[in-house]
């Protein structure tokens, strides 16, 4: 329990550094957060804020992905990666969301991210890319759902 409180305190300090634009300091502090889930969340927030500020986010994204993969709790790694992917998609970075999806080991989670990326591309009238992604989805239920949604968007 003490680890969790220490982790939450460090997370809050990391967020203050991020707010003040001190991204590298925030990353260094975040990497020292003992709780794996909170560390992953902090590093994800740093990467997302770098995108919002128009800064080079690639190194921060790599750290966020690595931290999510290090989470030892079943399903938590998938949730962290899916959340990060959806956030990047919402920030207009579908290619990064797709890259993050490749790290998701659980097929349904990876497929859901791929489907949402495809539908986002379809809304941007990039139909051939969207169909290619949908055709590559391995979860048949998600593939069927995505193709149906794509058809209804046309």
76, 37 Cβ separation under 8 angstroms: yes
Is the pLDDT assigned to residue 37 strictly greater than 90? yes
The separation between CA 53 and the C-alpha centre of its own chain, rounded to angstroms, equals 17
Higher pLDDT among residues 7 and 153, named by residue: 7
124, 143 Cβ separation under 8 angstroms: no
Is the whole-model pTM more than 0.75?
yes
pLDDT, tens digit, 9 for 90 and up, residues 47-85: 999 999 999 999 999 999 999 999 998 799 999 999 999
The predicted structure's pLDDT at residue 4: 87
70 vs 58: CA distance, rounded Å: 18
């Amino acid at each position: 329990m003490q680890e969790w409180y220490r982790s939450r305190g460090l997370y809050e300090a990391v967020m203050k550094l991020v707010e003040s634009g001190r991204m590298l300091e925030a990353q260094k502090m975040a990497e020292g957060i003992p709780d794996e889930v909170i560390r992953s969340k902090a590093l994800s927030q740093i990467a997302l804020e770098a995108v919002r500020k128009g800064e080079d986010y690639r190194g921060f994204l790599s750290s966020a992905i690595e931290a999510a993969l290090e989470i030892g709790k079943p399903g938590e790694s998938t949730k962290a990666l899916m959340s990060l992917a959806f956030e990047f998609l919402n920030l207009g970075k579908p290619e990064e969301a797709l890259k993050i999806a490749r790290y998701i080991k659980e097929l349904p989670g990876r497929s859901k991210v791929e489907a949402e990326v495809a539908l986002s591309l379809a809304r941007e009238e990039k139909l051939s890319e969207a169909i290619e992604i949908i055709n590559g989805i391995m979860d048949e239920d998600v593939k069927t759902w995505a193709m149906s949604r794509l058809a209804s968007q046309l």
